[in-house]
Structure 1
Amino acid sequence: MVPKLLLLFLLFESSVSLSHPNVSNGVVVTEKAYLNWVKQMGSFKHSLFQKAVNKFKPCLTIKVNKVSRLGYFVSVQKAIDSLPVFTHCRVVISISAGIYREKVEIPASMAYITLEGAGADNTIIEWDDTADRMGQSGRPLGTFASATFAVDALYFIAKNITFKNKAPSPPSGALGKQAVALRVSADTAAFFGCKIIGAQDTLYDHKGRHYFKDCFIEGSVDFIFGNGLSLYKDCHLHAITSSYGALTAQKRQSLLEETGFSFVNCKVTGSGALYLGRAWGTFSRVVFAYTYMDKIITPRGWYDWGDKNREMTVFYGQYKCWGAGADFGGRVSWSRELTAEEVEPFISPSFIDANEWLPNLQ
C-alpha cells in the first residue's frame, strides 16, 4: 500500500501528466512514482551548508584534573575560558577521571576544540537543570538553557566522556521538566565513545551536521530531538520510561530543509512503550537501518504529533532492522520499509558530508 505522505507528490505528478499529451489523465500510483518521490525527499546536496574544512593537528594541549597540582585546571569551563576568544587551530583538552559538577558552554568563536576523557565511565560532566528552573534573569531557563553541556562552536570533537543531566525522570504529563544533557547547536560536531544520560529531552540535536559513533544515549520522552542533520553509527539507545515515550522528535519543517536523523547498526533497549519517533516538524525525517529493536517499540512505530496532515509530509523508514520491536507489519501506513536503493543516501557518510570534515570515515 502506498502511504498517505505520497499524496502531495502524486498530485504534483498528476498535474504534470494532465498537461502532457503522451500521458493519460488521472493519478496513477506506481512504484516508479514512489521512487521519484523518495529521490526528492532523500536528496542530500546540502546546498545550504557551508563548505567544511576541518583541522586535526593540535597546536595546544591542556589538562583538566580534579586535583589542581596534577593538572592545569580543576574545571572544564575554566580550561575553555583560558583560550583566546577566537581559536584558529585545534586545541585538545584532556580531562582526567572524575565527576565534574558544572555547566559548560563552548562559544561559537572557539572552533577546533577536542575534549578527551579518560573513558565515559570515568570522566563525567553533570548538572541537573530543568526547563522550569529559574535562571539568573528571574525567568525559567527553558529547554535550550537547561543543557549541562552546550556546543556552539564549529568542528567540535568529544571522545570518551559522559554528559549527564541528573534531573529525575518526570511523571507522565509533567510540564517544564525538559532536562538536556547535551545541546549541539553548531555545524560539524563529532562524538566518539560518549555517554549522553538524561530523561526527558536528553540530547538536543539542535542544528548542523553531526556524527555520533559508539555512543550510549539514555532518556524517556523525545530523548533525541532537534533539527540536526545527523548520523548515529553503532550507538546504543536506551529508554527509561515506565509508560509511553519517544526515541526521536525530529523538527524538519520544510521540504527545503536538508536535515534528518539516520541510525545505522544501532541497538534500542529499555523499558516502557516507545515510539521510534514523533513528528515535531511537519517534514520530520528519520531512518533506522540494520538496527536491533527490543520489544519496547510500539507496533505502530511512529506518532504524528496529533496532526494528521503531517502523515502526508513526514519521511519515516526502516531497513533490515531486527528484534521483537522491528516487525514492520503493524507500522503506520505512512511509514516505509525501505529498499536498498532508497536507504542508500541515509546510511552513507555522505549523508553528513563526512568526506569534507571527517575524511577518515570513508
Structure 2
Amino acid sequence: MAAKANSSSLVISNKSKNELVTVEKAYINWVKMHASLKPHPVFKKANNKFKTCLTIKVSKNPKLGDFVTVQKAINAVPATNLCRVVIFIGAGTYREKVEIPKTKAYMTLVGAGADNTVIEWDDTADRMGQSGRQLGTYGSATFAVNSPYFIAKNITFKNNAPSPPSGALGKQAVALRISADTAAFIGCKFVGAQDTLYDHLGRHYFNNCYIEGSVDFIFGNGLSYYKDCHLHAISNNSYGALTAQKRESLLQETGFSFVNCKVTGSGALYLGRAWGTFSRVVFSYTFMDKIITPRGWYDWGDKNREMTVFFGQYKCSGPGADFGGRVSWSRELTLEEAKPFISIDFIDGYRWLPHFSW
C-alpha cells in the first residue's frame, strides 16, 4: 500500500507541474500579445460614437426637465439607437429600478455630481419578481446596462438593502450590473453591501470611482480597468473579499486590473476570491489599509484553483500591502509581468474610450 501511495503522489505531483507549466506558457504568450499592442481577438472591433445627436433632461421638478424619472427618459430613446444620446440627470434621489436594453447603444448619462444625483433601489436575490420567481443576483440590480458603448458620469448607483449577517443566503444586492462591452464610468459611486458591482461581461473602464461593499463587492467575468478608484469595505464578517473574478478557462481574456487605487474600511478582507478556475486580478500602485488579511487571496475552497489563478500585486503600499504573508500561489510582479495590466490597453482602451479618459 505504501508503494502505491508514493506512486500516486508522484503522478499527482507531475500532473500539477504540467498544469503549472501550461498556465505559465499561456501567461507568457498573453504578455507577448499585449506587448505588440494588438486588440483582444475574442472581442469585436470597437466602433464608438461621441457626436451627440439627441439630448434629454431628467429633473425631479417637471418644469425643468423632459422627464421626472430616468427609466422614462431611456424609454424615449429610439428602439434601435445608432447615435450618441446624452441624458442629463438633475440633482435628487431617484428611487427607481432602471434597465437599458441591448438595442439602445451609445448612451451617456450625466449627473449633477455623484453626491447630488442618486439612483437607488433595494432588491435582493431572494426577492420575488413579477414572474413569481426569485430575482437572483442578476435581477437584483438597481441599475442594469445591457447595451454597448455606455458612459456614466457623476452619478451614484445604490442598493439600499442592509448588509446581511454572516452566512445569510439570497441577500446579494447589486447596485449596478454591466452586461455589455465597451462601457465607461467616470466619477461615479457604487454603494451597497454584498455584491455591489456586478462587472458581468465585456470591456469596462472605471475612473475616479468610489465602490463600497462587504462581500465580493466587485465581481463577475468582465475585462476591466479600475484607475484612481476608492474601494471601501463595510464588512463586519470574519472575512469578506474585495473581488470575485470569474474567468473560467485559458481562452477567456478577462480579468480585473486596479491601478493607483485606494483600499480602506472595516473588517478583514481578501483582495480576491477565485470564483472562476482561472480567476485573474492584479493590484498595482495601490494603497491598502490594514483591513487586508496577510494571506491576501482565497482559493474558494478548491486547492486545484491555486494552480490556475493569476493573482498579483505590483508596487503597492500601506499596512495591508506587505507581500511577506501572502499565499504562495500569488505573485509579486516584476515590471515586465505588470506591464499588460497598468495601461488602458489592458482593455483596448485607446480604441474605444473618449480621448479625455486617456
TM-score computed with the length of structure 1 as normaliser? 0.91
State how far apart, in whole Å, the 2-side matches of 1:5 and 1:166 are: 47
Partner residue in 2 for 1:183: 177
Quick check: 1:255 aligned with 2:250?
yes
The Cα shift of 1:69 comes to 1.1
The answer on whether the counterparts of 1:151 and 1:186 sit within 8 Å (CA) in structure 2 is: yes
Q: Tell me what 1:233 maps to.
A: 227
Shift of 1:90: 0.2
Q: Does 1:217 align with 2:206?
A: no
Distance 1:12 1:127, change over 3 A: closer
Change in Cα spacing, 1:336 to 1:37, as seen in structure 2 (3 Å) is: farther
Residues 210-233 of structure 1: CA distance to partner in whole angstroms, max 9, x if unpaired? 000000000000000000000000
1:246 aligned residue (238, 241, 245): 241
Asked if residue 39 in structure 1 is aligned to residue 28 in structure 2, the reply is yes
The 1:323–1:89 alpha-carbon spacing in structure 2 relative to 1, beyond 3 Å, is: same
Is residue 103 of structure 2 the alignment partner of residue 98 of structure 1? no
Letter in 2 for 1:216: Y
Describe the superposition over 1:250-278 as per-residue Cα deviations: whole angstroms up to 9, x where unpaired.
Answer: 00000000000000000000000000000
Instruction: Judge conservation of contact 2:50–2:354 (CA < 8 Å) in 1.
Output: no
Q: How many residues align?
A: 338
Maintained 8 Å contact 1:5/1:312:
no
Return the letter of the residue paired with 1:83.
V
The 1-side partners of 2:105 and 2:27 are apart by 35
The reply to whether residue 351 of structure 1 matches residue 346 of structure 2 is: yes
What is the aligned counterpart of 1:331 among 317, 326, 329? Answer: 326
Moved over 4 A (4+): 9-13, 41-45
Structure with greater contact order relative to length (CA < 8 Å, sep ≥ 6): 1
Determine the structure 1 residue equivalent to 2:150.
156
Aligned-residue offset at 1:73: 0.1
- Aligned to 1:296, the other structure's residue is in SS state coil
Aligned-residue offset at 1:8: 3.5
Alignment partners' CA distance in 1, 2:64 and 2:257: 41
Summarize deviations over 1:199-246 as a string: whole Å, max 9, x none.
Answer: 000000000000000000000000000000000000000000012100
Determine if contact 2:19/2:307 at 8 Å carries over to the other structure.
no
Answer yes or no: is the 8 Å Cα contact 1:123–1:160 preserved in 2: yes
Cα–Cα, structure 1 residues 268 and 5, in superposed 2: closer, same or farther, change >3 Å?
A: farther
Q: Give me the whole-angstrom Cα distance separating, in 2, the residues matched to 1:309 and 1:160.
A: 42
Q: Which amino acid aligns with 2:179?
A: S
Letter of the structure 2 residue corresponding to residue 257 of structure 1: Q
- CA offsets 1:83-140 (integer angstroms, 9 cap, x no match): 1101111000000000000000010100000000000000000000000001111111
- Does 2:303 align with 1:308? yes
- Supply the AA of the counterpart residue of 2:328: S
Q: Does 1:201 align with 2:195?
A: yes
Q: What residue is the counterpart of 1:29 in the other structure?
A: none
Q: 2:293 is matched with which residue?
A: 298
The answer to whether structure 1 residue 48 and structure 2 residue 37 are counterparts is: no
**DSSP 3-state at the match of 1:69:** coil
The aligned residue for residue 7 of structure 1 is 17
| Separation (CA, whole Å) in 2 of partners of 1:349 and 1:11 | 28
Residue equivalent to 1:126: 120
Q: Deviations over 1:313-360 (max 9, x none)?
A: 000000000000000000000000000110000111110001110151
Partners of 2:354 and 2:89 in 1: CA distance: 26
* Residue-by-residue CA offset, 1:180-216 (whole Å, 9 max, x unaligned): 0000000000000000000000000000000000000
Taking a change above 3 Å as real, the CA distance of residues 160 and 8 of structure 1, as seen in their structure-2 partners, is farther
The aligned residue for residue 340 of structure 1 is 335
- What is aligned with 1:264? 259
CA distance in 2, matches of 1:272, 1:151: 31
Measure how far apart 1:57 and its partner are: 1.1
* Shift, 1:7, TM fit: 3.1
Q: 2:74 aligns with which of 70, 76, 80?
A: 80
Counterparts of 2:217 and 2:55, CA distance in 1: 33
Secondary structure of the 2:320 match is coil
What amino acid sits opposite 1:321 in the alignment? C
Residues in 2 aligned to 1:37 and 1:65: alpha-carbon distance in whole angstroms: 51
